[in-house]
Structure 1
Amino acid sequence: MQEDTELPRGIALAWGVAANPQRGPKREMSVERIVEAAVDLADAEGIGAVSMAAVAKKLGFTPMSLYRYVTAKDDLLLLMQEEATGVPSLAYRDAEGWRAKIGVLFREQVDIYLRHPWILSLPISGSPVTPNSSHWLEAGLEAVHDLPLDLEERLSVVLAVTGAARWQGMVYAGYDGAARESGRSHDEVARAEHDLYDRVIDADEYPRLRELIDSGAFVSDTDPLRFGLERTLDGIEAHLEGRTGAAHPPLPDDSDLDVADDKKYRAAVRATTAAEKDVRAAEKALRQARRAQAQALREARERRPG
């Protein structure tokens, strides 16, 4: 680590290079104990319950004794995030391919938000330049290291996945909280949400939303957020293929070429047209199958007793 620049107190504490207090209950108190107590408090009662006084009370000390170790609440919040975030496991290294590696890191990040949802309440004021956060960034960069991207593009891929994990964690943690507070299961929360929509959404004013409600999408077992992540990764993959010319090359511009009578070219055009027709037919069949599935779901629910 470079030592020619003075680090902010919280970051210095995270890296273990801050000066230790010269006075106070040295043996009984430590930065680690303070942070662990604060994380336990946030996990149990939410981030709003965390204060220097509350943490001191939990540890059996006075608030002033804590300030000898952690001089500001903002520093405490930074250290709490660092502790709760931890470091990624090495499971991503065993996954095959960059998408699988990124997927492992994505799921681990979502799990962190579900275990410590209060992290999502902390304001984002920049990248937390701390050891554990740096480990996560390093792991993401390692996962995409072999892709034909420049350094800034690799960072963009990692940040896109990190942002998706945070958003999914926020949604899932919100539903978890609603389930706990109401004493209902996740399915019951989703059903209540569906029923509310069903009562207030009129087909004349909201035809597309009404169609979605009638399809049972709000009570489906399908993960809609997962679909978005997969399509994001598809887009990155398509971008890479476009660079290498490996797949889906653009159609050549033949407007200024006298190729109308070329037999091989005409055969290629016919093959393209036939393939496009097959794709449209498959898309139509898929739409019909989905409508049939939605209808079958509605009928199954109507037949279900109670």
Structure 2
Amino acid sequence: MTDVEPEELPRGIALAWGVAANPQRGPKREMSVERIVDAAVELADAEGIGAVSMAAVAAKLGFTPMSLYRYVSAKDDLLLLMEEQAIGLPPQELREYDGWRARLRAQFEAEVLIYLRHPWILSLPITGSPITPNSSAWLDCALDALGETPLTATERLAVSLAVTGQARWYGTVLAGYTEQARTSGLSPQEITVREAALFDRVITAAEFPALRAAIEAGVFLAEDDPFRFSVERYLEGVEVYIAGLDRGHAHADAATWLQDDSAAVAGDKRVRAAVKSVREAEKALRAARKEERQARRDAAAREEARAGR
């Protein structure tokens, strides 16, 4: 038993779970949290998250900004509710695939599609573990897919988070190309060709040998999807690990969280001086490489001029 009172749910989370008190009075009966969130999501889908403000949402609904605050008292709460609505619940068919690997693959693809339909979600900060109903349902779906495996609860969470993280990164890249296509008028394929040409122009074998070899191999123009390839290899590795557990192998040792230097170490006078020296050395190296590239271009131009005589 404990005498500590349970912490009250933040307003936004309480609204998401439907346990927040409704306003006793409002400007008109047709106003509701649901209508406010619907309007905000429509704005974000059409114009991006930067277009969403309490004033803009109120104008879209035909109300004053102050009237919205009776229902959603802070913009952060509105953003949380927008994300909750946009991600929705996991499709029921995700639980109908045969085997954990097929289920996680399907969930990965379903999450990527959410980011393509609502790319503004990717602009919202990650402030902690999923606590809202829909985000909890997606995590539950992934954990359930692994429920019959010999993985520990911690390992199941780790695999679920890895798949979700890969989906978010994939969505970030695709959304970036989509936005660039929208603003430039180019197709994603044309953008890829343009970027490949830029890589080919500035990446040299002398400075970036491995990257130059990749360019020569045509990796930036290939139609292969590197993200789906990588998630398949990840799931393949998990499958091998599970097979080992089935044969009696021990579980892997627990991994520790990565951490940067503590404030005391980072603030140490000698450490700060050393970091400054490294930055200055890197700056000098960048300048030297820039000078080298220019010298090579000049030499190549002179050679071309002599050859043309």
TM-score of the pair, normalised by structure 2: 0.77
Q: Sequence identity of aligned pairs in percent? A: 64
Partner Cα distance (1:172, 1:194) in 2: 16
| Aligned residue pairs, count | 245
Counterparts of residues 198-209 of structure 1 (less than 5 Å): 198-209=200-211
| AA aligned opposite 1:180 | R
Is there any run of 5+ residues in structure 2 with no aligned partner, and where? Answer: 250-309
Question: Which residue pairs with 2:85 in the alignment?
Answer: 83
**SS of the counterpart of 1:218?**
coil
Is there any run of 5+ residues in structure 1 with no aligned partner, and where? Answer: 248-306
| Conserved? CA contact 1:168–1:225, under 8 Å | yes
Question: How far apart are 1:6 and its partner, in Å?
Answer: 2.4
Question: Which residue pairs with 1:179 in the alignment?
Answer: 181
Counterparts of residues 1-306 of structure 1 (less than 5 Å): 5-245=7-247
Moved more, 23-32 or 3-12: 3-12
Question: How far apart are 1:100 and its partner, in Å?
Answer: 0.3
Question: How far apart are 1:203 and its partner, in Å?
Answer: 1.9
| AA aligned opposite 2:36 | I
The superposition leaves residues 181-222 of structure 1 with CA deviations (integer Å, 9 ceiling, x where unpaired) of 111111111000000011111122222211111111101100
Question: How far apart are 1:4 and its partner, in Å?
Answer: 6.1
Partner Cα distance (1:109, 1:7) in 2: 27
Partner Cα distance (1:158, 1:60) in 2: 42
The superposition leaves residues 4-23 of structure 1 with CA deviations (integer Å, 9 ceiling, x where unpaired) of 65211101101111111012
| Conserved? CA contact 1:91–1:104, under 8 Å | no
Distance 1:11 1:213, change over 3 A: same
Question: How far apart are 1:26 and its partner, in Å?
Answer: 4.2
Partner Cα distance (1:167, 1:112) in 2: 13
The superposition leaves residues 18-49 of structure 1 with CA deviations (integer Å, 9 ceiling, x where unpaired) of 11101213422000000000001111111111
Partner Cα distance (1:210, 1:136) in 2: 40
**SS of the counterpart of 1:149?**
coil
The superposition leaves residues 219-252 of structure 1 with CA deviations (integer Å, 9 ceiling, x where unpaired) of 11001111211111122111112222289xxxxx
| AA aligned opposite 2:110 | E
TM-score of the pair, normalised by structure 1: 0.77
**SS of the counterpart of 2:60?**
helix
Question: Which residue pairs with 1:263 in the alignment?
Answer: none
**SS of the counterpart of 2:220?**
helix
**SS of the counterpart of 1:219?**
coil
Question: How far apart are 1:153 and its partner, in Å?
Answer: 1.2
**SS of the counterpart of 1:217?**
coil
| Conserved? CA contact 1:10–1:79, under 8 Å | yes
Partner Cα distance (1:243, 1:186) in 2: 43
Partner Cα distance (2:185, 2:218) in 1: 23
The superposition leaves residues 70-114 of structure 1 with CA deviations (integer Å, 9 ceiling, x where unpaired) of 001110000000010101101222211111000111101000000
Partner Cα distance (2:241, 2:141) in 1: 22
Question: Which residue pairs with 2:280 in the alignment?
Answer: none
The superposition leaves residues 88-141 of structure 1 with CA deviations (integer Å, 9 ceiling, x where unpaired) of 101222211111000111101000000001100001110231111111111111
**SS of the counterpart of 2:215?**
helix
